[in-house]
Amino acid sequence: MKYFDYSKLKDRKWPKEVVNYVGLIHEYKGRQQLYLKQKPEELSKLVELAKRQSTEASNDIEGIRTTNSRLLQLMNDKTTPKNRNEKEILGYRYALNLVHESFEYIPIRNNYILQIHKEMYRFMDVTFGGNFKDTPNEIVAIHEDSVKEVIFKPLEPFETPIAIESLCEEYNKAIGEYGIDPLLVIPIFIHDFLCIHPFNDGNGRMSRLLTTLLLYKSGFVVGKYISLEKKIQITKPEYYEALSESSKGWYEENNDDTAFVKYLLGTILAAYRDFEDRVNVVSKKLSALEMVKNAVSQKIGKFTKSDIMEYCPEIGSSSVESSLKQLCKEGMIEKRGGGRSTYYVKIK
């Protein structure tokens, strides 16, 4: 059976990069608290955008997709799901809302994790929602010749409930009794959760919901305004590489999970940096053109209309598009590609 002991983390020596990440995130957290007090109305504009991006990105990582228009309708309760993908997307939205709105009342225990999983499958005609796996699962890679390679073999079904119980107990001890910085405990908890792979389906999405939940409970609420799932989607190869590297020897308890800790802390730090960039844009009383110009000034390399809309959530799509056209006329940017492949680059 697999049990966990997080007390050893008290004496663990971390690489300088990890220590720096932790220090910087705490600094950003402190500054965010000031923003939350000073600019609550401006920040509220970022919340719904972050929810939509999180729902879209977390499902997209698993190959679960729908059109942009259908996604907006589902997020705004303007339609009902018409296929399996949309049922899963809407279920994630409900589970994410639960985390956002009730995180203070969700203890880190077996039965609460099962309830979140059940919420995620509330629109699905399946029996495994809210239950631990009843069949073995393997993490595989499919090569070009269609040959499957087993990358990692998680715990067996009979081991899973006890392992999750032990994991939750050790997390709570680490945060409370052991007094370890949550920023070090959370990535390790998420990595162990993924290695257990406790469900027949939905393990990746559950890990991202739990990441948000654990961060919120420790006061790191950046995911409310900047989608962590979107950050992971953009860096998906690095995510899987860090997970694979950290999982080698996990069952035998001789793995080194530093790579995954670095990856997740880097993702959180990137979200905090984006938060400060965006709050500086939305907090100013500017015209649509001025807001788009400010957003463009912060971009490096090529960017899309959607990228700019992330920074300007309170102005509509047509206003962003007309502003980009104006900036093209002014010679600040240049439009390239066409259709869905359209992007822009700064000229000056």
CATH of the domain at 103: 1.10.3290.10
Domain CATH code at residue 310: 1.10.10.10
Based on the structure, what is the number of domains in the chain?
A: 2
In this structure, the answer to whether residues 107 and 225 fall within a common structural domain is yes
Cα 23 to Cα 7, 17, 64, 246: the distances in Å are 21, 10, 36, 23
In this structure, the answer to whether residues 121 and 205 fall within a common structural domain is yes
C-beta separation of 171 from 108 below 8 A: yes
Q: Hey, what long-range contacts does 89-92 have (CB within 8 A, 24 or more apart)?
A: 89/55, 89/56, 89/59, 89/64, 90/123, 91/119, 91/120, 91/121, 91/122, 91/123, 91/124, 92/55, 92/58, 92/59, 92/120, 92/205, 92/209
CA distance 208 to 271: 14
In this structure, the answer to whether residues 304 and 275 fall within a common structural domain is no
The pLDDT, as a whole number, for residue 138 is 83
Residue whose token pair is 């962590």: 228
The pLDDT, as a whole number, for residue 114 is 98
Q: Which residues contact 287 (CB under 8 A, 6 or more apart)?
A: none
Q: Which residues contact 182 (CB under 8 A, 6 or more apart)?
A: 175, 214, 215, 218, 220
The pLDDT, as a whole number, for residue 146 is 67
Give the range of the structural domain holding residue 330, as residue numbers without chain letter: 288-346
| Cβ atoms < 10 Å from Cβ of 244 | 15
CA distance 173 to 184: 13
Closest CA to 318 of 299, 328, 305: 305
Taking 3-state DSSP, the helix, strand and coil percentages for the chain, each rounded to the nearest 5, stand at 65, 5, 30
pTM of the entire predicted model: 0.87
Instruction: Provide the residue-wise pLDDT of the chain in tens; the chain has 348 residues.
Output: 889 999 999 999 999 999 999 999 999 999 998 888 777 777 777 888 899 999 999 999 999 999 988 998 999 999 999 999 999 999 999 999 999 999 999 999 999 999 999 999 999 999 999 999 999 998 776 666 667 777 788 999 999 999 999 999 999 999 999 999 999 999 999 999 999 999 999 999 999 999 999 999 999 999 999 999 999 999 999 999 999 999 999 998 999 999 999 999 999 999 999 998 888 766 667 788 988 998 898 888 899 998 888 777 778 888 999 999 999 999 999 999 988 889 999 986
CA distance 98 to 75: 14
Assess if residue 124 is contained within a domain.
yes
The pLDDT, as a whole number, for residue 149 is 72
The pLDDT, as a whole number, for residue 142 is 64
Classify 76 as helix, strand or coil. coil
CA distance 189 to 170: 9
Of the residues 253, 281, 309, which one is the last residue of a structural domain? 281
